[in-house]
Structures are given as structure tokens and as C-alpha cells.
Amino acid sequence: MAGRDPAKAIARLRPTAVRAAVLAALTRAVDPFEDLPAPQRVLRGDAWTGVVTTVDDDGWRAVLVTAGGRRTASRSCTLIDPEGAVAAAFAADDAARIATAAAVGLAAPRILRPGPARVTLLGAGPLGRRVADELHAAIEVADLRVHDPDPAAQASAGEIGTAVGSAQDAVRDADLIVLATNARDPVLRADWVAEGASVIAAGADRPGRRELDYRLLAEASFAACDAPRIARALADDLRDCVAEGHLDWQEVTPLGVVLRGEADARVADGDLVVVKLIDPAPAVLALARLALGV
């Protein structure tokens, strides 16, 4: 492992291997790991930091730190072996995007109605591009509309799909809406969403960021999250909705339960299904071990 760059090694992994590793990370049995530090969030003005620690069945750990300001953010990961020694430390921005996009691709077939899907992607940045690739591999995409609230990113939206000038127009009649932004305020309103739509919020996974309108969560027939325990500390859109009495944490199903086939996200065609992705750390840990061969 000496001299190897984990970030570059992860980027070279084959997509099928990535999906298998991320699926295993998302579906492993949940263990509270009481010895692990609780998720941390620190906010000072426009500066913030979020810290999560995860451990896998072999005793390997990863500490994922996300830090930034009003517009930019960066991630770093420290990989710790079962003996407590630091095995690697690396910039984890791209690894987290790879993990999150794979999670979107794994979740989409489980929550959609049958048939070709009209897809809207809100977010045309690096995460959005990876998400688009995963969706094309995972489901039958009838059409892909793209909008980004940032004018600079919107200028390149046509490279991913059909660029649409407003979020409201982009999501009209969509079967699947994926949010891949770092928005401070919700970018999707409940009254824009068609009956029976599925929504995956993948971008606002840090303190001070919100993509989901509380009414979407309040009106959802089914809500799932990859890491409800982490969400209680870091997912501001879910935290706000619970604090205002529109949602209870017991109503948020772990995504792994859905991916294991132990719960149906959709009972009727008209159901509104919402998935929140907040913690890429377990998948980043799995990808790092796979890429480094440890």
C-alpha cells in the first residue's frame, strides 16, 4: 500500500466493482457501535465542519471530515486499520461523489414505478454528472432534463441532458427527481412535484445545506435515509422537518432495509417516495479498502 494514492486508486475502480462495494456498505446490518464518536457539526458564521466515523465488520475505520464556507467545501478521509494505525489519509471529494452517485443508481430502481422514467436532475456539477451516468446504467431513462440554480453550472447542463431554464419547468411530470446541489435553501417545492414521483436528495449532505422542502417530507408516503443516525446530526432538511413536527424520526426507514428487499418503498403508483443520502463514509471506506487491496 505504500506510495499508493487512495483517491486515484478509487477513481480507477470498475463501475461494477464500485456498485457492488457500495451496495454491500449500504445493506450491511446496522450496528450502533457505541464506542464510536457521535457525528460532529460545528458552525461558525459561514464556516462549518462535519465529522463522521464509521467502522466495518473487519474492524477497519474511516473518519470523514467535510469542511467549507458559503460556496466551497472539501472532504478528507483517514483510513484506520483494526490495530488503530493510520493506513492512509487522502482527499476524498471524488471518492464521496463516486459513492453517492452509486447509491443513487442503486436506490432508483427500488423506488420507481415500472417502465421508462422521465428523469430530472437538479445540479449540473461534478456530482450531477456522475449521477447521470449511474442513472443511465441503472434504469431505462426516457428523457433527462437538467437544471442548476447556479448560472455558471447551468451553462454546461446541456452536456448532461436537456437543459431547462427553471427548476419548476424541469421537474414538471418527472417520475424521478434527483437533487445534486449544495443549496443552502430548498431547491424543490412540493407543489411542483407530480403525483407518484420519486425524489432522491443527494447533494446537501453537510451542515447548513438544505435541498428538500419540508412539505415534500411531510407529504411523502415513504421516506428513507442511508444513515438516519447521522441524519439526526447533519441533515438539516430532515432535522428542521422533525423539529417543526411535520415528521418523526421513526418514520424514516434505513435505505438498507429497502435495498435488502425487506420493505417496499412504493405501495401504490400515486405514492410520493423521498430518499435522503447523507453519509458516504461507509461506502468510501469500502471503496478505499477495495482499491488498496486491504
pLDDT in tens, 152-189: 889 999 999 999 999 999 999 999 999 998 877 888 99
> Which pLDDT tens digit goes with each residue over 235-277?
988 998 999 899 999 999 999 999 999 999 999 999 999 999 9
294 contacts 1 by C-beta, under 8 angstroms = yes
Contact yes or no for 282/90 (Cβ under 8 A) = no
The pLDDT of 187-205, averaged and rounded, is: 92
Residue 31 has pLDDT above 80, yes or no: no
pTM: 0.94
Cell numbers found for residue 252? 424514516
**pLDDT of res. 68:** 80
Mean pLDDT, the chain, rounded, equals 91
Closest CA to 25 of 294, 276, 287: 287
Beta strands in the chain (DSSP E): 40-44, 47-55, 61-68, 73-80, 86-91, 117-122, 141-147, 162-163, 176-179, 198-201, 222-225, 252-254, 273-276
**Domain range list for the chain:** 6-96+282-292, 112-279
Q: How many residues does the chain have?
A: 294
What pLDDT, on the 0 to 100 scale, is given for residue 170? 96
The CATH label, of 2.40.50.140, 3.40.50.720, 3.40.710.10, 3.40.50.10190, for the domain at 112-279 is 3.40.50.720
Which CATH superfamily, name and number, covers 6-96+282-292? ornithine cyclodeaminase, domain 1 (3.30.1780.10)
Instruction: Kindly give, in sequence order, each residue whose CB lies less than 8 Å from that of residue 243, ignoring residues fewer than 6 positions away.
Output: none
φ, ψ for residue 74, nearest 5 deg: -145, 155
Percent of the chain whose predicted confidence (pLDDT) is above 90: 72
Gap between the Cα atoms of 189 and 268, Å rounded: 22
Flag whether pLDDT at 84 surpasses 80: yes
Mean pLDDT on 67-88: 89
In whole angstroms, what is the distance from residue 288 CA to residue 200 CA? 25
When pLDDT is cut at 50, 70 and 90, the band that residue 33 belongs to is low
Measured CA to CA, the distance from residue 68 to residue 66 in angstroms comes to 7
223 grid coordinates: 421516506
Longest dimension (CA), the chain: 53
- Cβ atoms of 191 and 116 within 8 Å: the answer is no
Cell digits for 247? 415528521
Cβ–Cβ under 8 Å, residues 277 and 201 = yes
Rounded Cα gap, residues 10 and 257, in angstroms: 26
